[in-house]
């Protein structure tokens, strides 16, 4: 029997297992195969943005910014996945998959709660870039190299910068993951305010810490590997993970009654 913890008006499962993660991935794969055009569309926006950002950084002579930008880029993935959550929700409910309805999910339920979360997403990305800039400036001053030089990363200062940046970025990403992993699917699924959704997401992390950390590692590792071949692997990885997160959300929260 599933164990539930009450959070505000929502009961949150606190007995997740690795088997639940496998089931969520299997469900995500089925949803992607059943409606690939939606997944390719949303992932295509993400991939196109990544390729444009890469080109722009090289064109501006700021190639060294590619690493912090790429590291922070997954922060916006949950917001891109909102349309994927709606696809999974409609498939589950037996509702027709229409572009207007799926794209309309980005507006939320007419209460601007998802848009409020979107603001948080992009503010977090901007904040990470500011922090990365500060870390970069500290170590760049010691290296004696310009910001356009990729040789910086082979110097002791560059290696130390990558180490510090990875720790700081990892902690920020984990905090951001904790507040969004369940909140965005919930805002697609239910008429709740974004603060309630964030509380539920944090409660899920607290009640299922080890398993949710494993899920975070799966997401991070998959996105990292998928980004290597010119971001193209994201065309499959992002939709599957987005749909899978919906199925994990459903396991944690269950359908509304």
Between 53 and 100, name the one with better pLDDT. Answer: 100
Query: Confidence band (pLDDT; 50, 70, 90) for 115?
Result: confident
pLDDT for the residue 150: 58
Please give the sequence-ordered ranges of beta strands (E in DSSP) within 8-56, or none if there are none: 10-13
Between 160 and 189, name the one with better pLDDT. Answer: 189
Query: Confidence band (pLDDT; 50, 70, 90) for 227?
Result: confident
Beta pairing partners, 10:
7
Q: What are the backbone dihedrals phi and psi of residue 154, each rounded to the nearest 5 degrees, phi first?
A: -95, -5
Distance between CA 184 and CA 79 in Å, rounded?
Answer: 8
126 Cβ contact partners less than 8 Å away, ≥ 6 residues apart: none
Tens of pLDDT, residues 207-223: 999 999 999 999 989 98
Of the chain, the percentage scoring pLDDT greater than 90 comes to: 39
Query: Confidence band (pLDDT; 50, 70, 90) for 114?
Result: confident
Tens of pLDDT, residues 56-95: 777 777 666 776 776 666 777 777 889 999 999 999 999 9
Domain chopping of the chain, boundaries: 4-253
For residue 141, pLDDT over 70 is answered with no
DSSP-assigned states of every residue in 94-111: T----HHHHHHGGGTTTT
> Whole-number mean pLDDT of the chain?
84
Query: Confidence band (pLDDT; 50, 70, 90) for 27?
Result: very high
Helix-helix angle 36-59:82-93, to 10 degrees:
180
Distance between CA 30 and CA 25 in Å, rounded?
Answer: 9
Instruction: Write down the residue that tokens 């929260």 correspond to.
Output: 253
pLDDT for the residue 117: 80
> Euclidean distance between the first and final Cα of the chain, in Å?
19
- Global pTM reads 0.85
What's the average model confidence in pLDDT over 19-36?
97
Token pair, residue 195, equals 């603060």
């Amino acid at each position: 029997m599933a164990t539930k913890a009450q959070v505000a008006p929502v009961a949150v499962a606190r007995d997740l297992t690795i088997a639940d993660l496998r089931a969520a991935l299997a469900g995500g794969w089925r949803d992607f195969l059943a409606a690939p055009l939606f997944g390719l569309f949303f992932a295509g926006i993400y991939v196109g943005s990544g390729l444009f950002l890469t080109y722009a950084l090289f064109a501006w002579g700021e190639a060294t910014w590619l690493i912090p930008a790429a590291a922070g880029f997954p922060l916006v993935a949950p917001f891109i996945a909102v349309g994927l959550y709606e696809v999974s929700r409609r498939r589950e409910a037996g509702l027709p998959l229409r572009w207007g309805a799926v794209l309309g999910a980005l507006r939320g339920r007419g209460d601007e709660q998802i848009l409020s979360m979107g603001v948080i997403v992009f503010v977090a990305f901007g904040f990470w870039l500011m922090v990365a800039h500060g870390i970069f400036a500290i170590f760049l001053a010691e290296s004696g190299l310009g910001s356009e030089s990729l040789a910086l990363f082979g110097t002791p200062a560059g290696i130390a910068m990558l180490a510090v940046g990875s720790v700081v970025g990892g902690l920020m990403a984990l905090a951001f993951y904790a507040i969004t992993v369940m909140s965005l699917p919930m805002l697609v699924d239910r008429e709740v305010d974004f603060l309630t959704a964030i509380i539920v997401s944090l409660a899920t992390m607290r009640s299922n810490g080890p398993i949710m950390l494993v899920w975070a590692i799966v997401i991070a590792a998959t996105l990292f590997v998928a980004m290597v071949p010119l971001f193209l692997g994201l065309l499959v990885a992002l939709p599957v993970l987005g749909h899978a997160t919906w199925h994990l959300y459903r396991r944690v929260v269950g359908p509304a009654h």
